[in-house]
Amino acid sequence: MDLSIFLHPLKFIPILMSLFGIIILFRIRKKEYKNTYKRTIWTSALLFFIVYFIIVFDSTCQEIYYKSQLNKFDLDGNGIFNGLEITADFKEAMKLVISDTGRTFAPFTGIVYAGFLSLVVFLSISVFKKLKMIIKK
């Protein structure tokens, strides 16, 4: 199994950055957890990094899986598909490998999705806390 895809900068750097973000947020958790506004920011940031990690890691795992499925058709192991190796199943596997626009842009679209989700959570928590303070008065 070829795991060199994890070393590709487009996949490796976002995975590494999101893991560092999660680690850093857990390290500062004790300091920032007393202030409710900072706690809300911390929660939203943690959600961002976790969702982003899941999106990028999932796309990387899919790519590895599809490439391993394609390599099963390379009977002589030379990395070139020819003659008897090209079957209907091979064409299906090749289509999955080369139709990778979503997996390629996952690091970029992941920022948008994770950012939107964490923004919605941040605003929801903030509004809920404001409403809670208004009701208590």
At residue 60, the pLDDT reads 87
At residue 13, the pLDDT reads 85
Asked if residue 79 belongs to a domain, the reply is: no
Asked if residue 78 belongs to a domain, the reply is: no
Inter-residue contact 6 to 60 (CB < 8 Å) = yes
Asked if residue 92 belongs to a domain, the reply is: no
| Domain span including residue 132 | 4-67+102-136
pLDDT tens sequence across 18-69: 999 999 988 887 665 677 788 889 899 999 999 999 999 998 888 888 888 8
Asked if residue 12 belongs to a domain, the reply is: yes
pLDDT tens sequence across 113-123: 999 999 999 99
Q: In the predicted model, what is the mean pLDDT of residues 95-117?
A: 88
| Domain count along the chain | 1
Residue among 71, 67, 65, 100 nearest 85 (CA) = 71
Burial class, 11, CB count within 10 angstroms (exposed 0-12 / middle 13-18 / buried 19+): buried
Asked if residue 91 belongs to a domain, the reply is: no
Residue 61's identity, in one-letter code, is C
Asked if residue 95 belongs to a domain, the reply is: no
Q: How far apart are CA 73 and CA 137, in angstroms?
A: 70
Position 105 pLDDT exceeds 70: yes
Residue among 7, 112, 8 nearest 55 (CA) = 112
Q: 102 or 43: whose pLDDT is higher?
A: 43
